[in-house]
Amino acid sequence: MQVLWFIPTHGDGRYLATAEGGRTTDYPYLRQIAQAVDHLGYTGALLPTGRSCEDAWVVASTLVSHTQRMRFLVAIRPGLMSPGVAARMAATFDRLSGGRLLINVVTGGDPVELAGDGVHLSHDDRYRLTDEFLTVWRATLKGEESHFKGDYLDVQGSKLLFPAIQKPYPPLWFGGSSPIAQQIAAKHVDVYLTWGEPPAQVAEKIAAVRRLAEVEGRTLKFGIRLHVIVRETESAAWEAAEQLIRYVDESAIAAAQKAYARMDSEGQRRMTHLHHGSREALEISPNLWAGIGLVRGGAGTALVGDPDTVAARMLEYAELGIDTFILSGYPHLEEAYRTAELLFPWLPLENQPATQQHVMFSPFGEIVANEVDPKQLDTQTTLATVD
């Protein structure tokens, strides 16, 4: 299992839909999150894209030198950039980061925002453009000279002089719930992503994409994007969930729903359908909570519970075919630590950092009375319990 975190370049805080407990996501803060991700053993982090965010490529580029292991999942945007330029950006980042780039293919689902960026295509036309874009992008990264004339792109002689480290190219990740999006995924990408829907709905998506991939003679991996609220006890986790939306009122929900309504994203429609803009019955599946989606676009569900329970729910998704989880929590710095400390021991993770047992980097907990290692007390307590 691979677990990634999230770098909140569009804002962070302790509560949703309020400035109370808000936090400035300046560079020092983003660097802290990236270094936590790197240190704690996450595979990497997703950086969001869109006009409400800092530019993902610029942010990721500034964080590379402050990290050693983590990978950066950064978006390429068909329609907003040419495939040749996107190929050079990807190859450069991959080389200079030592092969730590993951590519998130984002077609976009908000016609108003896309119009502001000069894209005036219908939903299906945007995905047809994405198909053409990825045809050229993949060929260029493979080292081929690409000559392509389609309905949207006319590229003659695209080539890459400085190749990427990862072969044949940095892995392509992609999320899209509509039939045409799933066809594009089956044809081009390496990892198909879904937002955190109930397991039965996720199973249907995986089955559909697998069938399409078989037609293309390909196999895909699968990932899921979720928030997580994990605490030492179940009751504490649910209390934290309620605290997160304590300032979410009807006006905030209405404003968010109005924004969602203009979108033609099938994934966003499915997210909104989980809660219907109502605070009632937000636990839509055991330990799967839709409260975040009341006011947040995109990923709107969270796994809520104690470590054992949340891990069990993740393993249920894993049994369906999900092997990668992109998690997040509010605020993202503290929750990166909390999630790693509480949840990671329960998961079959592939990339945990090796522990040097002979070196004590720092006490595991505060030294008791300025002289006693707390691990000694833990050992004594365990022995006493056994006796």
Cα distance between residue 224 and residue 274, in whole Å = 16
pLDDT confidence tier of residue 367, bands split at 50, 70 and 90? confident
Residue 47 predicted with pLDDT over 90? yes
β-strands 154-158, 146-149: how paired? antiparallel
Q: Is residue 376 part of a domain?
A: no
Spatial contact of 57 and 91, defined as CB atoms under 8 Å apart: no
- Could you tell me what percent of the chain has a pLDDT over 70? 93
Q: Is residue 179 part of a domain?
A: yes
**pLDDT tens digits for range 206-221:** 999 999 999 999 999 9
Average pLDDT over residues 234-254: 97
Structural domain span for residue 73? 2-362
Q: What residue type is 331 in one-letter code?
A: P
Residue 351 predicted with pLDDT over 70? no
Cα distance between residue 289 and residue 302, in whole Å = 5
Average pLDDT over residues 361-370: 67
Domains held by the chain: number: 1
The pair phi, psi for residue 234, each rounded to 5°, is -60, -45
Average pLDDT over residues 165-173: 98
Q: Is residue 89 part of a domain?
A: yes
Q: Is residue 383 part of a domain?
A: no
Instruction: Return the pLDDT at 349.
Output: 93
What CATH number does residue 336 fall under? 3.20.20.30
Residue 372 DSSP one-character state: B
pLDDT confidence tier of residue 381, bands split at 50, 70 and 90? low
Q: Is residue 315 part of a domain?
A: yes
Neighbours of 284 (CB within 10 A): 18
Residue 358 predicted with pLDDT over 70? no
Q: What is the DSSP string of 38-83?
A: HHHT-SEEE---STTS--HHHHHHHHHTT-SS-EEEEEE-BTTB-H
Q: Is residue 374 part of a domain?
A: no
Q: Give residues with Cβ within 8 angstroms of 269, minimum separation 6.
A: 260, 263
Q: Is residue 372 part of a domain?
A: no
Average pLDDT over residues 315-321: 98
For residue 129 the two structure tokens come to 């453009």
Q: Is residue 379 part of a domain?
A: no
Spatial contact of 198 and 284, defined as CB atoms under 8 Å apart: yes
Instruction: Return the pLDDT at 352.
Output: 66
Residues in the chain: 387
Residue 386 predicted with pLDDT over 90? no
**pLDDT tens digits for range 256-309:** 989 989 999 999 999 999 998 899 989 999 999 999 999 999 999 999 999 999
